[in-house]
Amino acid sequence: MSLPRFSAGTRRAEAFGLVRRAFADAGLDSPARDARILLCEALGVDAAALAMSPDVPLGAAGAEHLLDHVARRLVHEPVARILGQQEFWGLPFGLSPETLVPRPDTETVVEAARAAIPDRAARLRILDLGTGSGCLLVALLHELPDAHGIGVDRSPAALATARQNARRNGVANRAGFLAGDWGAALGQTFELIVANPPYIATGAIAALAPEVREHDPTGALDGGPDGLDAYLSIFADAPRLLVPTGRLVVEIGFDQEAAVRAIAAAAGLGIERVAKDLGGHARAVVLRRPDAP
């Protein structure tokens, strides 16, 4: 790994070129995009200001911050981790070591859930199992102004992050967060349950990109020997937690549709819809109770 060399007097445009080349030489995806984002963050400016003032020197503080950001990215720390936040559903979400970085594919779950609940003014109770950063619950509460929800996670640190994100996005008065093992500790029922559970097979984790393998929490990735452990638990409990007209929406791996269908059938759940992500892969499954009207 070779760090680019720049100083307080290095111009912004020159620094951008140096960082972009360093990222490209390291084989990183999107070297220009990453260089632009990290340069803007280090300087405290937006992309428009960067483009309009390419000859402004970095300054001592800017050069120091940029060098730190570049060094971290060159060892495959994700840009979102360096920034400490990620946008999801158009909303900002803070991150912590105990939370996944929200992915664009996971927005498919929000879209599928919204389609399953067409009345935006409905008074709903929402349950988010394995809430992590709280991105699913917070996004849905942002879309559904009369809904209330609970996020459950095994990690107290993740729950603290989710609470902060609910406050940051203006839905804290309608969101509660509880430590627990999926829905086992809950006695109430919900109109909507969502989950992005761990679904990577244990043996496949070592082959994941270092941005994921080394920086996302293993507990949020590891779905057991075949990646399906979480679905067995969630589906078995879903009939108890859903109202008769309720819906369960889960994210799945790109090659798991057939296996998830079999688990749903064994649990007595009907599949209403399978939604595809932007890459055309099955990504969100909408399920209902066997006695659903």
pLDDT higher than threshold 70 for residue 170: yes
69-92 pLDDT, tens digit per residue, is 999 999 999 999 999 999 999 999
52 pLDDT band, cuts 50/70/90, is very high
267-282 pLDDT, tens digit per residue, is 999 999 999 999 999 9
Model pLDDT, residue 290: 86
Question: What percentage of the chain exceeds 70 in pLDDT?
Answer: 100
Backbone dihedral region for residue 27 (phi beyond 0: left; psi -120 to 50: alpha; all else: beta) = left
Model pLDDT, residue 186: 95
Tokens describing residue 257: 């549709």
Beta strands in the chain (DSSP E): 85-88, 91-94, 125-129, 148-153, 175-179, 190-195, 242-251, 270-276, 282-288
Q: What is the mean pLDDT of residues 101-110?
A: 98
d(CA 266, CA 75): 44
- Write down the number of H helices and E strands in the chain: 11, 9
Model pLDDT, residue 291: 84
Model pLDDT, residue 61: 97
How far CA 251 is from CA of 15, 127, 146, 255, 277, in Å, comes to 40, 14, 24, 12, 10
Let me know: does 285 contact 249? Beta carbons within 8 Å: yes
Place of tokens 């003032």: 53
Let me know: does 256 contact 271? Beta carbons within 8 Å: no
Let me know: does 251 contact 109? Beta carbons within 8 Å: yes
Model pLDDT, residue 235: 98
116-158 pLDDT, tens digit per residue, is 998 888 899 999 999 999 999 999 999 999 999 999 999 999 9
Query: Of 91, 198, 190, which is closest to residue 135 (Cα–Cα)?
Result: 91
d(CA 216, CA 169): 23
Exposure b/e, 29-52, CB count within 10 A at least 16 = b:
eebeebbbbbbbbbbebeeeebee
d(CA 258, CA 265): 11
What is the distance of C-alpha 31 from the center of its chain?
Answer: 22
Q: What is the mean pLDDT of residues 27-42?
A: 97
Model pLDDT, residue 1: 66
Mean pLDDT for all residues in the chain: 96
DSSP 3-state of 200: strand
Model pLDDT, residue 122: 87
Q: What is the mean pLDDT of residues 235-252?
A: 97
